[in-house]
Amino acid sequence: MTTQAQTAENGVNVAALLGARKALSDAPEAARFKWRATSEWLKGTHSRATVDGFFGLGGEQTHRQTYQFDSDHPEIFASEDKGATPLEFVLVGLAGCLTAGIASVAQHRNIQLKSVKATLEAGMDLRGILGVDADVRNGFDGIKVHFEIDADATAEDIAALVAQSQKRSAVFDIITNPTDVTVTTSKT
Amino acid sequence: MTTQAQTAENGVNVAALLGARKALSDAPEAARFKWRATSEWLKGTHSRATVDGFFGLGGEQTHRQTYQFDSDHPEIFASEDKGATPLEFVLVGLAGCLTAGIASVAQHRNIQLKSVKATLEAGMDLRGILGVDADVRNGFDGIKVHFEIDADATAEDIAALVAQSQKRSAVFDIITNPTDVTVTTSKT
């Protein structure tokens, strides 16, 4: 039995993505996206974010449904743990981005995925955000991501899938490189 | 009527946070945290992340409950939109972090918050992740955050609250400054 004639089915429409790449090469304005979220403070460190619409392909777009996420600090910080911490949402975004990339690249390379599991861990010295030591940064001192992948491919091909996903990952780029954040305020 | 004798009640236990700051100044090992997430690929660009335990204060900690988040790409990318995009999770984390900081700083400064609403928008040129133009980055070209805050304080005091939150925000730091991400892979 050979696998050459088989086509991998990972559920990614690569033809559509390649079509989009060609279309957006010719229409750079359509490639300008704006991703959005709103959030509302509830009590203490607990807030609720809403994700609904975004802008792209030259117009306003909406998700198939509205997504809401509660964020809070854990009980050991004297909070009520009514949601994941903001830090964990960053890890969730990174996992989702790299995993979607792996599936897309696997489809393009005709590699059938069977399972893709990620484990993420980010170290942080809390003395940063608490203002104990000005030399300690507020954020993570680094993130380790480990993928365990079962697929019809060699270990080398699997490692190459992950490397390509990393190379094209938006969230990986946002975290590893500086991204400007401008904060403004108004009193209502 | 004066407000001098009143104590703001924003639901943040500042005494506990100040106690933690003192305790962690004397015990830097307890300040070493590890935040975690796991994720599993489901189909196409759809994956599910789980947030459960973390390490801190010298031991393993667990959330009050397990949190799960579905991540996917939208339908205009030929995906099924079974969750928010990974990019939107980054915005959710940023909103949650800055908002929790605002509430904490307001409590410390005895400013009663009435409402805190955030609107976040991040531009992105899709030609980066599609590999159309090597000069276009994969990630956001910037994030704009706007806070609308109703509080018993002047506009200047409110702006100062937000500035202090920004200064001590872990997610703001992770996004605006480079953070190492190490990715490893194994075949199962």
Each residue's pLDDT tens digit, A90-145: 999 999 999 999 999 999 999 999 999 999 999 999 999 998 888 999 999 999 99
Strand A181-187 versus strand B142-151 pairing type:
parallel
* Interface predicted TM-score (ipTM) of this complex, two decimals: 0.96
Question: A90 vs B93: CB contact, 8 Å cut-off?
Answer: yes
The nearest CA of chain B is from the CA of A148 a distance in Å of 5
pLDDT at A4: 52
Judged against a pLDDT cut of 50, whether residue B69 lies above it is answered with: yes
Judged against a pLDDT cut of 50, whether residue B1 lies above it is answered with: no
Judged against a pLDDT cut of 90, whether residue A60 lies above it is answered with: yes
Chain B residues touching residue A47 (CB < 8 angstroms): 95-96, 99-100, 116
Distance CA A109, CA A91 (A): 27
Residues in chain A: 188
Report the predicted TM-score, pTM, of the whole model to 2 decimal places.
0.96
pLDDT at B39: 98
As a whole number, the mean pLDDT across chain B is 95
- Residues B29-68 pLDDT 10s: 999 999 999 999 999 999 999 999 999 999 999 999 999 9
- Residues B111-157 pLDDT 10s: 999 999 999 999 999 999 998 888 999 999 999 999 999 999 999 99
- Residues A4-28 pLDDT 10s: 557 899 999 988 888 888 888 888 9
Q: Please indicate if any CB of chain B lies within 8 Å of the CB of A59.
A: no
Q: State which residue of chain B sits closest to A127, comparing Cα positions.
A: B31
As a whole number, the mean pLDDT across chain A is 95
Residues 6+ apart with CB under 8 A from A29: A58
Bridge partners of residue B150, in order along the sequence: B115
The residue-averaged pLDDT of A63-77 equals 96
Between residues 118 and 147 of chain B, which touch chain A (CB distance below 8 Å)? 118-132, 137-147
pLDDT at B2: 47
Are the C-beta atoms of A153 and A179 separated by less than 8 Å? no
Q: Please indicate if any CB of chain A lies within 8 Å of the CB of B18.
A: no
Instruction: Say which of A40, A79, A95 has its CB closest to residue B49.
Output: A95
Tokens describing residue A89: 């949402």
Question: A33 vs B179: CB contact, 8 Å cut-off?
Answer: no
Q: How many CB pairs under 8 A join A and B?
A: 510
